[in-house]
A and B are shown apart, each in its own frame.
Chain A
């Protein structure tokens, strides 16, 4: 089954009168449980592609299907709901809520879902915080954590809603290579144990080599 399906997707940015074509007719499919890397140099369209898949934006032309839904046909609130329930995000600069501690940051999406009891939420959060190895830091705020630890919190936050797809835009770009490697290892491990679909971008060759599948982007088109 395909988690993600893109058909002849183009995305143009308008800068005043200039039209910047960021994606020029992208076809791709990602099946459930895959661990896929989107590789390509800076400016090749990786972020744009992930934003479209992540329902943060809709294509100029073509069809983007995520978790069985065609995003171009959804309203803003429906796109937001889709993000909440089906997609987990890991960002390059971690993007945690600075005034909340580790526990509260991870719990936040569950509060938005409104489907779990307090006790269920607690168990779920503790479970994922343990998975990313931060059980000892529950009460720490983001500025009391190292970069690698922050990215682990972000991973726990992305996983906690049990989404179908985890999207990560250059998750290791702000980390040293050793820490970056542990983060990739963690993602791989979770992919294996939970069967979560992982799709992440990078321009780091060392990381590309470890992926089972690599989609290469260049100038807004898939080259292999």
Chain B
């Protein structure tokens, strides 16, 4: 076997040009696959990070309260015993916190925008949103130029611990033509179809994080309670951060069971963010409280198209590229076999079995494949790391929508690398099976007299 390997290696070296040609193609394809998969994983990672910072825990206990058949408010009434129950049953949690949900208008002197709003108690979730970055002033103040010695940013997210303060993202500040320190009016419709309003100060303008940040504003919890006249024992949702996000499905399932057993009415699972559920809930005939156990995946279901698109793109690319290299490999091997037909005949005469001829050529293909794929994975990882380290910012808004972030992010995942290796290797070996088999079936007498 060792000698077969040596023969294979030496033949590959002898036919350098051919080896480099097909090897190079395999390297290129592997690099592209590594790139695509890291890109996809990076976006998935961004979505997870953004959604858990902005819109969702890993798992949430939310729900709707219906005062009448046609109403729907995203509330959990009497949440304190529920929170206790949840705390008792999720030992995997790193953090529990609650938020109030709202939807209203933010009005400045010149403009207004309608936005979903979170009423938060910053003290409870420093670990969740504490790391959000302030936006550079130049990104939201028209014609702004940073002066010498002046800070590029302004404001402080900390301030929303105090009532009367809010924070939102640069995209909103730009639209409303406001900056830190300005006052805006918040106007929300309450259950009785009356609009409640409150003036709040802008404490911080945060750096945009792609699509999700345009659906997010942070209010002080007290202000939200005041605007909606929410009672103390009511909250928007209980949010759970897990130590390991992979525990999500187990926790979700357990909570559904536990809450049902405790006598709570649960809503059916629906892969939608809460703000897409209003119409459906309003159309249902039940009244009172229903609990909805959701995950970050549900709350960001509107980003699914991105993953689906990327998945489809990766699939098509992979299929096309693999077809090309597999055909290349078949062709290369076929050329090698034609050239060495007489040698195959000789070896068969000496006493090499058919099976061993097959092994010999498969080994040659395998050696070439494994070598090239390993190089490809190395180069791909290097390229991806370099691009990643360069923190290339995404300027186009459409592209920001797509990558969910304002910088290009890649995630090199060992699982993905193994997947790439196995996939490319499998198909190349599969492809080399055919010419190798043909070689093994050649009659020694005719093979030995073959002239090239």
A binds B: yes
Binding site for B on A (CB under 8 A): 51, 54, 56-57, 76-77, 80-81, 83-85, 89, 91, 95, 97-100, 104, 107-109, 111-113, 157
Q: Contacts A51-B445, A56-B444, A98-B343 known; A112 to B351 CB distance under 8 Å?
A: yes
Q: How large is the interface on B (under 10, 10 to 19, 20 to 34, 35 or more residues)?
A: 20 to 34
Per-position 1/0 for B328-355, Cβ under 8 A of A = 0000000000000011011111111110
Seed contacts A57-B443, A81-B351, A99-B7; 13 additional CB < 8 Å A-B pairs: A80-B353, A80-B354, A85-B351, A91-B346, A95-B343, A95-B349, A97-B347, A98-B343, A99-B10, A108-B350, A109-B351, A112-B351, A157-B350
Q: How many A-B residue pairs have CB under 8 A?
A: 62
CA distance A113 to B3 in the complex (A): 13
User: For residue B445, which residues in chain A have a CB less than 8 angstroms away from its CB?
Assistant: 51, 56-57
Q: Contacts A95-B343, A108-B3 known; A89 to B444 CB distance under 8 Å?
A: no
CA distance A51 to B444 in the complex (A): 10
Q: Contacts A95-B448, A97-B7, A108-B3 known; A77 to B347 CB distance under 8 Å?
A: no
Which label, helix, strand, loop or mixed, suits the secondary structure of the B interface? helix
User: For residue B443, which residues in chain A have a CB less than 8 angstroms away from its CB?
Assistant: 57
Question: When the two chains form their complex, are residues A97 and B343 in contact, meaning their CB atoms are under 8 A apart?
Answer: yes
Which listed residue, B3, B7, B342, B349, touches A89 by the CB 8 Å rule? B349
Q: Within the complex, what minimum Cβ distance (angstroms) separates A15 from chain B?
A: 12
User: For residue A95, which residues in chain B have a CB less than 8 angstroms away from its CB?
Assistant: 342-343, 345-346, 349, 448
B69 at the interface (CB under 8 A from A): no
Question: When the two chains form their complex, are residues A80 and B348 in contact, meaning their CB atoms are under 8 A apart?
Answer: yes
CA distance A107 to B353 in the complex (A): 17
Question: When the two chains form their complex, are residues A83 and B3 in contact, meaning their CB atoms are under 8 A apart?
Answer: no
B14 at the interface (CB under 8 A from A): yes
B260 at the interface (CB under 8 A from A): no
Q: Within the complex, what minimum Cβ distance (angstroms) separates A124 from chain B?
A: 15
B11 at the interface (CB under 8 A from A): yes
21 examples of A-B residue contacts, CB within 8 angstroms: A54-B349, A56-B444, A57-B443, A76-B354, A77-B354, A80-B353, A89-B346, A89-B350, A91-B346, A91-B349, A91-B448, A95-B342, A95-B345, A99-B7, A99-B10, A99-B11, A100-B6, A104-B3, A109-B350, A113-B351, A157-B350
CA distance A213 to B352 in the complex (A): 32
Per-position 1/0 for B22-63, Cβ under 8 A of A = 000000000000000000000000000000000000000000
CA distance A113 to B11 in the complex (A): 23
CA distance A84 to B443 in the complex (A): 16
User: For residue B351, which residues in chain A have a CB less than 8 angstroms away from its CB?
Assistant: 80-81, 83-85, 109, 112-113
CA distance A85 to B347 in the complex (A): 14
User: For residue A157, which residues in chain B have a CB less than 8 angstroms away from its CB?
Assistant: 350
User: Which 6 pairs across A and B sit closest by C-beta, in order of nearness?
Assistant: A84-B351, A99-B10, A95-B346, A56-B445, A83-B351, A89-B349
**Minimum CB distance partner of A111 in chain B:** B3
User: For residue B350, which residues in chain A have a CB less than 8 angstroms away from its CB?
Assistant: 83-84, 89, 108-109, 112, 157
User: For residue B444, which residues in chain A have a CB less than 8 angstroms away from its CB?
Assistant: 56
Interface centre among B349, B352, B356, B444 (most CB of A within 10 A): B349
Q: Within the complex, what minimum Cβ distance (angstroms) separates B377 from chain A?
A: 28
**Minimum CB distance partner of B2 in chain A:** A111
Per-position 1/0 for B420-452, Cβ under 8 A of A = 000000000000000000000001110010000
Interface centre among B345, B348, B444 (most CB of A within 10 A): B444
CA distance A107 to B3 in the complex (A): 10
